[in-house]
């Protein structure tokens, strides 16, 4: 579980490379900083009250008791008075001083660390929707408020099972019984909705969509996709919280769906555009990972293949919606994470196989529409709550310190205007023009 937590943490630097390569050269450091800063900010909030809000005893069906584990109270340390020295003469065995609280079969502190990484990556995902134009200070304030108001409560609904970390958990997991094994709703629908709302409130980048804003470093994008795929095994298989058959099956279904989604995306590009691109391969990988996240424990290999292909095709088509509908989702957070999360969550209602770990039958396995409506309600509830919560948080930031970089700062680039740095020494290179040249036609 510690290794799985480390793998999930690696996903955030992987995302930083993925997003960093997709922006123009003058914004790459800012894009990376948005992901890396989430690692610091969310960690502090998580150990103070975030874990308690997510996994404390349920309060009115909304969130966990924020005081129950405040500062990880009762989870770290021990009771020295419980220690008993060995006394062989009187047949007394030694008793350890520290009694370790458990969540299921693992130490609570390990569970704390594992779930922390989910919170970090969820916040970082949002940043792709607002590339090039959000003030860094505003990002930090937004991220801190959003993870508190939106993510922690939703994580409680979805991940807090009765009797695990606390006696009473969240309503989606325990009353609705919608299946979300590793975060299709709590992570991807949640972050995708937040990205859409924030992009709408922030407005379009200057010159978009008329001015080409293409990825400046496709090798970065491919590297990021590879790191995300690698780290995702901790995300999905690690959510089994044990080294068992369930972990093995989720590992396999995750691999199969990801591969199928990549091929589905490339096929869609080939038919639609006449060529398959490296950016399409990387995006297809992420789309498949997103879609299989909620369903990896509830589908067999054929179901994983179907979910992967469907997600690859639908997400490849969905990334074009921003041009038709006029919202500037810079790096396709909506098309990949919101759409992919919805697809993966709903398809459980069709492809869930009763012989899998979830032991639920979808429509195609004789279960009727029972699980499908549960999945739809869970997805819809998270989407609606995220939309409302994100709107409130973003408006608070907008009307206090402001959201958007100045026109001059945006023209100069977020690296220079927000961090007084540049990723590349253009003078040493001889010309800045080589940095932006690539073969893909898709813009950020």
Per-residue pLDDT at 84: 57
Domains and CATH numbers, the chain: 2-72+102-436 (1.10.3430.10)
pLDDT of residue 430: 54
pLDDT value for 87: 61
Coil, strand or helix at 60: coil
- Taking the chain (444 residues) in consecutive chunks of 10 residues, what is each chunk's mean pLDDT? 98 98 97 98 99 97 97 76 60 60 91 98 98 98 99 98 95 98 98 98 94 94 98 98 95 99 98 97 99 98 98 98 95 98 98 96 96 98 99 98 97 96 75 42 53
* 92 three-state secondary structure: strand
Tens-place pLDDT, residues 289-330: 999 999 999 999 999 999 999 999 999 999 999 999 999 999
Q: Residue 212's pLDDT is what?
A: 86
Question: What pairs with residue 429 in β-bridges?
Answer: none
Give Cα separations from 387 to 160, 162, 311, 321, 430 (angstroms): 22, 27, 23, 18, 46
- Predicted pLDDT at 443: 55
Compute CA distances 429 → 28, 213, 360, 432, 435, whole Å: 17, 21, 58, 7, 9
Identify the three-state secondary structure at position 21: helix
Neighbours of 355 (CB within 10 A): 9
- Rounded alpha-carbon distances, angstroms, from residue 346 to 52, 265, 286, 378, 401: 29, 20, 18, 9, 39
What is the pLDDT, as a whole number, of residue 81? 52
Predicted confidence at residue 85, as pLDDT, reads: 61
pTM for the full predicted model? 0.92
CB 145 within 8 A of CB 392: no
């Amino acid at each position: 579980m510690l290794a799985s937590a480390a793998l999930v943490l690696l996903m955030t630097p992987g995302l930083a490379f993925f997003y960093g390569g997709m922006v123009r050269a003058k914004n790459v450091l800012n894009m990376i900083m948005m992901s890396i800063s989430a690692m610091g900010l969310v960690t502090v909030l998580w150990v103070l009250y975030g874990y308690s809000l997510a996994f404390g005893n349920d309060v009115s069906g909304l969130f966990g008791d924020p005081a129950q584990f405040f500062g990880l109270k009762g989870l770290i340390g021990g009771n020295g008075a419980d220690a008993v020295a060995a006394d062989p003469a009187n047949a007394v065995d030694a008793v350890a001083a520290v009694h370790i609280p458990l969540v299921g079969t693992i130490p609570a502190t390990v569970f704390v660390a594992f779930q922390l990484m989910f919170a970090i990556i969820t916040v970082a995902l949002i940043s792709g929707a607002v590339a090039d134009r959000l003030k860094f200070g505003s990002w930090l304030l937004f991220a801190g408020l959003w993870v508190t108001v939106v993510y922690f409560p939703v994580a409680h609904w979805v991940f807090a099972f009765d009797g695990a970390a606390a006696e009473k958990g969240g309503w989606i997991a325990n009353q609705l019984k919608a299946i979300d094994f590793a975060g299709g709703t709590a992570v991807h629908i949640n972050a995708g909705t937040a990205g859409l709302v924030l992009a709408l409130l922030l407005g379009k980048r200057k010159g978009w969509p008329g001015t080409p804003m293409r990825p400046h470093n496709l090798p970065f994008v491919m590297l990021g996709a590879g790191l995300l795929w690698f780290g995702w095994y901790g995300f999905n298989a690690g959510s089994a919280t044990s080294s068992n058959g369930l972990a093995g099956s989720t590992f396999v279904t995750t691999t199969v769906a990801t591969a199928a989604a990549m091929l589905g995306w490339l096929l869609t590009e080939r038919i639609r555009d006449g060529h398959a691109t490296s950016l399409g391969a990387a995006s297809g990988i992420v789309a498949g990972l997103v879609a299989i996240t909620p369903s990896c424990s509830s589908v067999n290999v054929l179901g994983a293949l179907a979910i992967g292909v469907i997600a690859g095709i639908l997400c490849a088509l969905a990334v074009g919606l921003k041009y038709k509908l006029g919202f500037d989702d810079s790096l396709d957070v909506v098309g990949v994470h919101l759409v992919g999360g919805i697809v993966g969550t709903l398809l459980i209602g069709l492809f869930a196989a009763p012989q899998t770990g979830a032991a639920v039958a979808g429509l195609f396995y004789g279960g009727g529409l029972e699980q499908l409506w549960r999945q739809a309600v869970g997805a819809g509830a998270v989407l609606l709550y995220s939309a409302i919560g994100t709107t409130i948080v973003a408006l608070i930031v907008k009307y206090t310190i402001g959201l958007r970089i100045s026109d001059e700062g945006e023209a100069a680039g977020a690296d220079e205007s927000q961090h007084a740095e540049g990723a590349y020494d253009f003078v040493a290179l001889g010309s800045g023009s080589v940095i932006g040249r690539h073969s893909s036609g898709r813009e950020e």
